Amino acid sequence: MGSGILVGNMLRPDILMLLLLFSLVCSAAASVTYDHRAIMINGQRRILISGSIHYPRSTPEMWPDLVQKAKEGGLDVIQTYVFWNGHEPSQGKYYFEDRYDLVKFIKLVQQAGLYVHLRIGPYVCAEWNFGGFPVWLKYVPGISFRTDNGPFKAAMQKFTEKIVSMMKAEKLFETQGGPIILSQIENEFGPVEWEIGAPGKAYTKWAAQMAVGLDTGVPWIMCKQEDAPDPVIDTCNGFYCENFKPNKDYKPKMWTENWTGWYTEFGGPVPHRPAEDLALSVVRFIQNGGSFVNYYMYHGGTNFGRTAGGPFIATSYDYDAPIDEYGLPREPKWGHLRDLHKAIKLCESALVSVDPTVTSLGNNQEAHVFKSKSGACSAFLANYDTKSSAKVSFGNAQYDLPAWSISILPDCKTVVFNTARLGAQSSQIKMTSVNSAFSWQSYNEETASADDDDATTMVGLWEQVNVTRDVTDYLWYLTDINIDPSEGFLKNGQSPLLTIYSAGHALHVFINGQLSGKYGSCKIMSSTTLIWLIHQLLILNAGTVYGGLENPKLTFSDYIKLGAGINKISLLSVAVGLPNVGTHFETWNAGVLGPVTLKGLNEGTRDLSKQKWSYKIGLKGEALSLHTVSGSSSVEWVKGSLVARKQPLTWYKATFSAPGGNEPLALDMNSMGKGQIWINGQSIGRHWPAYIARGGCGDCSYAGTYTDKKCRTNCGEASQRWYHVPRSWLNSGGNLLVVFDEWGGDPTGISLVKRTTGSVCADIFEGQPTLKSWDMLTSGKINRPKAHLWCPPGQKISQIKFASYGMPQGTCGSFREGSCHAHKSYDAAEKNCIGQESCSVTVAPEVFGGDPCPGNMKKFSVEAVCS
């Protein structure tokens, strides 16, 4: 035929080939839609398990392994925010390299066979500097953030369009054959809208319309946004979301942030969320009709550089996530959730086909049953009692439910998982020093003064970020005080009182070049001042004051030593991350805004606020780039016995060779005060081990409603002691470590440590449900649970530290024998495990030489040392 595409009756081979290729490419593309029950991929409803991994919070070298561990942990989706201030550091200048290589990250997720949920924001909150907004955005004329404001909407639209078109160009949306199945616009705007009213409502409508208009082909969601306009899906964030209902009954019930722990702030304890409760929260959501759960965070990672928000958010963003800051599975959380995901997937066909039927099984007990027309049946048996276990009847059988737990029965008969019974091992982490002491050199950062050539003089006190534009944490406020020789205090030996009000976040006060408080006299003093002064001395020295996350403001008030004539006042004001949450946080101030007063002069009190102040942005060492290899060689460093220790404003440098092995590395900074760390010019982040965690830490039971204040550690110790050093930042030869400390830390205490597993534990109840019960069902064998133990690659079990079959007590690291103990407990563990990388011990009486206490509920607890 004349068209030339047919040869006889057949398609021409080259055309056939082309069509084949086309269909291959297209077969990967799928539609993404939704209905009341679930997100549908190619028309098929799915139960989707998702986890947040924020690409700039790890290194590209870590990404493949993190994604792989997420896959092995049973995730279907990786969720990430897009970090605007990382991608557009100055207006119109974009950056998508290295840790900000978003396309590379998404393609890695795709290669692993997982989906992506892209939360473009571009407001992200996330404990990230300025909530993800670039600081230049604040200076766009007429702007007001996150409301019905022209300049803001224009900038937000431009960036959102930029990201969407980039994703389209790379064919990354699912409808193009890519992995992105969902996007998000804004982030938790609901509470702000509630506060600001009409302009907030208009902005919500605009944001939804703008996003939908970008025609990505996949659904948009808005989290914590009850009035999310159609077709945008409103979703839930929180520790629990079982009672959440989307705003239309044709939208699926989705949970965008199930908090796996909580963030650490400098000055706060470290939060932990028990794996049993996290698993329970997921099952409660699923049994109530939920079909999408995202763990925030699945890997929290590190706030490298100055990316931490807050203010006062710590450098570690570990979050007690299933994969820890260093990229290793956190056990038992990671393994317990992996088992949970397998159990949920066994129920998927029943779950997606119907809504649950709920029946009461007792005062605090319920069954949620999904029974489809085609005969599939899955059930969830819940016991909400926080103290007692319960025996319930369901179907034709009886089931034991531990306190605060849910059992999963994929066939409505066989229990394969209970949220409170850990099949996964737990582990004890060890931080072991890997280098001999660093050989330090030091360089003294000069105290700036008002007559410095590069200082800019202005009248009055200026807001810090308006001056620095956040290119540095540091701003010097410099002024002179002229003291007349006739001043009374010069003769009677008393000192005037300097009082400084600052909007935050930290302040070092230097009088005539000396950190105040070290040499000051304190003659006129009330008892409260005395208590305050003692407190200040205890937290290093009185010349330094700082706020906290709850209240970043601070007041300095101290008697200072002044002489006749000109006295130099040098205030180093330090920002510790810009706010990331709160209505119009872009208007919040930092720095010394006054008043600044001097009391005890002949004239009474002198107000220094309105006089001339000079400003210097940043430190001299920053201007010289002392953190880099070339910059650090531009000055003379002090060596040997003269190296500074416990001196404020000091730079330290040392070189070291990379340790062998592949265990993750960290710096132990416990002896230091506050400052920043760099390795080979890369910023590890802010350190502040001298900020001791205040608040309550205590016993923590998994049972009962979790809050971020419930299970915390580190009270009375540094909020953050260890600082992650990514292996990929090290050269095999020499490496340059630079530390700037503001506060007089002792660098001789710094060491490089490797993170290893000291020991691993299992804690398995007899008859405890396991996923094996499912396989056994078909083979007809009786299910007997096993304690599984494994050491990380390169380590083997060298010793059984504890083993008891009976009624042992305590937790991993502190197990002890209880009232009943089988005498062959150790033998069984030693026989199976010593010298092995992994081993298992069946939890049944004959393995341990017989039943030590018939009629009692027994378990096997074991702790094995990995070497």
435, 668 in Cβ contact below 8 A?
no
**Cβ 474 to ligand GAL shortest distance, Å:** 26
Q: Does 237 sit near ligand GAL (CB under 6 A)? A: yes
Q: For residue 853, what is the DSSP state? A: S
- Show contacts with ligand GAL in window 426-455 (CB under 6 A): none
- Show contacts with ligand GAL in window 50-69 (CB under 6 A): none
Q: For residue 316, what is the DSSP state? A: B
CA distance 571 to 578: 20
Three-state secondary-structure class, residue 333 = helix
**Cβ 820 to ligand GAL shortest distance, Å:** 43
- 124 vs 828 by CB, closer to ligand GAL: 124
**Cβ 124 to ligand GAL shortest distance, Å:** 6
**Cβ 580 to ligand GAL shortest distance, Å:** 7
Three-state secondary-structure class, residue 833 = helix
What is the tally of helices (H) and strands (E) in the chain? 17, 46
- 127 vs 742 by CB, closer to ligand GAL: 127
731, 681 in Cβ contact below 8 A?
no
Q: Which residue is nearest to ligand GAL (CB)?
A: 125
CA distance 702 to 274: 5
**Cβ 188 to ligand GAL shortest distance, Å:** 5
- 267 vs 852 by CB, closer to ligand GAL: 267
Q: Does 663 sit near ligand GAL (CB under 6 A)? A: no
Q: Does 187 sit near ligand GAL (CB under 6 A)? A: yes
Q: Does 188 sit near ligand GAL (CB under 6 A)? A: yes
- Which tokens go with 629? 């290899």
By C-alpha distance, which of 745, 718, 675 is closest to 267? 718
- 60 vs 579 by CB, closer to ligand GAL: 579
The residue type found at 3 is S
- Show contacts with ligand GAL in window 796-835 (CB under 6 A): none
807, 798 in Cβ contact below 8 A?
no
User: Is 188 an annotated catalytic residue?
Assistant: yes
Sequence-ordered list of residues with C-beta below 8 angstroms from that of 610, at least 6 positions apart, any chain = 459, 460
**Which of 242, 257, 331, 348 is an active site residue?**
257
- 126 vs 361 by CB, closer to ligand GAL: 126
CA distance 104 to 60: 8
- 63 vs 189 by CB, closer to ligand GAL: 189
From the number of C-beta atoms within 10 Å of its C-beta (0-12, 13-18, 19+), residue 647 rates as: middle
**Cβ 203 to ligand GAL shortest distance, Å:** 17
- Which tokens go with 814? 């502190």
**Which of 161, 170, 188, 766 is an active site residue?**
188
68 to 107: interface string for ligand GAL, x by CB under 6 A: ----------------------------------------
**Cβ 263 to ligand GAL shortest distance, Å:** 5
**Cβ 718 to ligand GAL shortest distance, Å:** 21
260 to 279: interface string for ligand GAL, x by CB under 6 A: ---x----------------
- 188 vs 830 by CB, closer to ligand GAL: 188
Strand arrangement of the beta sheet that strand 32-34 belongs to: 32-34, 39-41, 44-46
- 264 vs 291 by CB, closer to ligand GAL: 264
- 239 vs 370 by CB, closer to ligand GAL: 239
Largest CA distance in the chain: 116
- 123 vs 443 by CB, closer to ligand GAL: 123
Q: Does 708 sit near ligand GAL (CB under 6 A)? A: no
- Show contacts with ligand GAL in window 103-132 (CB under 6 A): 124-127
Q: For residue 323, what is the DSSP state? A: B
- 256 vs 441 by CB, closer to ligand GAL: 256
CA distance 252 to 35: 6
CA distance 283 to 292: 11
- Which tokens go with 232? 């945008």
Q: Compute and round to an integer the Cα radius of gyration of the chain.
A: 31
From the number of C-beta atoms within 10 Å of its C-beta (0-12, 13-18, 19+), residue 587 rates as: exposed
CA angle 304, 56, 47 (to 5 degrees): 135
Total site size for ligand GAL, rule CB under 6 A = 9
Q: Does 318 sit near ligand GAL (CB under 6 A)? A: no
By C-alpha distance, which of 644, 265, 281 is closest to 441? 644
**Cβ 548 to ligand GAL shortest distance, Å:** 17
Sequence-ordered list of residues with C-beta below 8 angstroms from that of 323, at least 6 positions apart, any chain = 53, 66, 69, 70, 73, 298, 299, 329, 330, 334
632, 476 in Cβ contact below 8 A?
no
CA distance 735 to 729: 9
- 80 vs 768 by CB, closer to ligand GAL: 80
**Cβ 626 to ligand GAL shortest distance, Å:** 33
Three-state secondary-structure class, residue 634 = coil
Q: What are phi and psi of 56, to 5 degrees?
A: -75, -5
- Which tokens go with 391? 């025996």
**Cβ 338 to ligand GAL shortest distance, Å:** 23
By C-alpha distance, which of 59, 129, 761 is closest to 471? 129
Buried b (16+ CB within 10 A) or exposed e, 501-528: bbbbbbbbbbbbebbbbeebebeeeeee
* DSSP states of 684-725: EEEE-TTSBPPS------SSS---TTTSEE-TTSBS--EEEE
- 264 vs 418 by CB, closer to ligand GAL: 264
User: Is 174 an annotated catalytic residue?
Assistant: no
**Cβ 695 to ligand GAL shortest distance, Å:** 17
- Which tokens go with 131? 């909530």
**Cβ 407 to ligand GAL shortest distance, Å:** 30
86, 78 in Cβ contact below 8 A?
no
253, 68 in Cβ contact below 8 A?
no
Three-state secondary-structure class, residue 21 = helix
- Binding residues for ligand GAL, rule: CB under 6 A, are 124-127, 187-188, 237, 257, 263
Q: Give the residue numbers marked as catalytic.
A: 188, 257
